[in-house]
Structure 1
Amino acid sequence: MAKRYIILDTETTGTGELDRVIQLGYIVLGEKVVEVQNELFSSDVPISFGAMEVHGITPDMIDGKPTCKESSSYRRLQELNTQDNYMIIHNAPFDLGMLEKEDFNTQMKVIDTLRVAKHILPDEDAHRLQYFRYKMELYKEEQKEADSLGVVVKAHDAIGDVLILKLLLSRLKDEVSKQFPGENPVEKMVDLTNTPIMIKSFRFGKHKGKTLQEVAASDAGYLRWMLSSMENLDEDMKYSINSVLS
């Protein structure tokens, strides 16, 4: 069976433990096959005002809709959920974590474009999807892409973000090919997704602007304190601190 590439985004009631998926948007790419899924869902969890501010989905828009698990787009995603296929998401842990609450556990190979971008474009000011939309001028291409897929573009809408993600994926794939010649760029992106990121310098705190190497030489105790006391310390930061300390 031909491989499928599922480029996906969700919108949710919020970002907390109890929050749920209220929109699923994804494009399925295969050999000459393009499929677009975009569906809103009802939820017992009220939409937070902060979430509404981001995605613009209001309670009346989801009133009477099926729940995520009852929807045709969710059922289709389950059909596609095999080890032959690839799931492409920007900041995959968030969306996959939300889908796990709907009993969806991905069997697909995952490409997290956020992590890939951090690996291959480490000096960018940010790695957010909307940042790249403007930095790479993807917005100039999105209308043509949308028309070809029959998609309506709306910023922060799940399917609108998927469209930008499709364009970003293409740019990242080209960059991976340049930086890792001779390697399969798709498989390399899967590999980079699972590879810890070496953080070079502090973007926050009392050592903002200094490299981790400099701080390891001048204030190693602070790095050890971060490891032992900062509960929400990012896994990549933990890896980077341990690397410079060793």
Structure 2
Amino acid sequence: MAKQYVILDTETTGTNEEDRVIQLGYMVLGAKEIEVHNEFCSTDVAIKFGAMEVHGITPDLLEGKPPCVETVAYKRLLELNTSENYLIIHNAPFDITMLEKEGFKTQMKVIDTLRVAKHVMPDEEAHRLQYFRYKMELYKDEEKEAKALGIVVKAHDAIGDVLVLKLFLSKLKDIVQAQFPNENPVEKMVDLTNTPILVKTFRFGKHKGKSLEEVAREDAGYLRWMLKNMENIDEDLRYSINYYLES
């Protein structure tokens, strides 16, 4: 059986512990035909207004929809969930955590395009998907691609973001290929996904613009305080703070 590549995005009621999936969108590449899934799903958790502001999904759009686990999209995702397939997401930990709340445990190899982008394009001012959509002029190819697949593109809509991610993935693959010419770019992206990023510069707070190495020398107590008190530090920054404190 040919390897399948699942490019996925979710929309949710919010970003907290109690929040749940309300839209599951993905494309499956690898067979002759591209398979497209895009479904709304209901949940008992109210959609937060901040989330509505981002994705525009209101409670009336979910009326009469099945829970996530009963959608065709979710059931098909379970069928695709084997170790030879690839799951491709921008900021994978978020969507995977959301899917885990629905009982989904991925067996697929994961490519997190956000982390890969941070590895191969460390100097970009941002690594958000919408940033690359404009920076790489992906929006110019969207219309044609969407028409071919019968998709309507809206910013922050799950399947719209999946379409942008499909276009971004092919650019990212070329960049990875150029930087690692002797390696399979897809496998290298899996490898980079599993490799922590050494953050070199503070992008926020009282030490903004300073190098982590410098702060570790001059204000190690602040870094230790961050590790202890700031629960929302991403794992790369946590890894980097520990690295510089130990070295």
**Bin for the TM-score computed over the shorter chain:** over 0.9
- Cα deviation per residue 1:114-133 (whole Å; 9 max; x = unaligned)? 10011111111111111111
Residue 239 (structure 1) shift: 1.5
Aligned to 2:96: 96
Aligned to 1:50: 50
- Cα deviation per residue 1:68-118 (whole Å; 9 max; x = unaligned)? 111111110000000010000011111111111111111000000010011
Aligned to 2:136: 136
Give the distance between the partners of 1:102 and 1:224, measured in 2 at CA.
35
Aligned-residue identity in percent: 76
- Cα deviation per residue 1:176-231 (whole Å; 9 max; x = unaligned)? 00111110000000011110001010011111101112222332333233334433
Aligned to 2:106: 106
Aligned to 1:5: 5
TM-score by length of 2: 0.96
Question: In structure 2, do the counterparts of structure 1 residues 152 and 232 end up closer, same or farther at CA, with 3 Å as the change threshold?
Answer: closer
Aligned to 1:194: 194
Give the distance between the partners of 2:238 and 2:94, measured in 1 at CA.
19
Aligned to 1:150: 150
Give the distance between the partners of 2:223 and 2:67, measured in 1 at CA.
45
Paired residues for 1:25-174 under 5 Å: 25-174=25-174
Give the distance between the partners of 1:64 and 1:229, measured in 2 at CA.
43
Give the distance between the partners of 2:144 and 2:22, measured in 1 at CA.
27
Segments ≥4 residues shifted beyond 4 Å: none
**Structure 1 unaligned regions, length at least 5:** none
For these two proteins, the number of residue pairs brought into alignment is 246
- Cα deviation per residue 1:33-80 (whole Å; 9 max; x = unaligned)? 310001111111111111111111111111001111111111100000
TM-score by length of 1: 0.96
Q: Match of 1:151, SS?
A: coil
Give the distance between the partners of 1:98 and 1:230, measured in 2 at CA.
22
Give the distance between the partners of 2:110 and 2:39, measured in 1 at CA.
22
Aligned to 2:23: 23
Aligned to 1:224: 224
Question: In structure 2, do the counterparts of structure 1 residues 231 and 24 end up closer, same or farther at CA, with 3 Å as the change threshold?
Answer: closer
**Structure 2 unaligned regions, length at least 5:** none
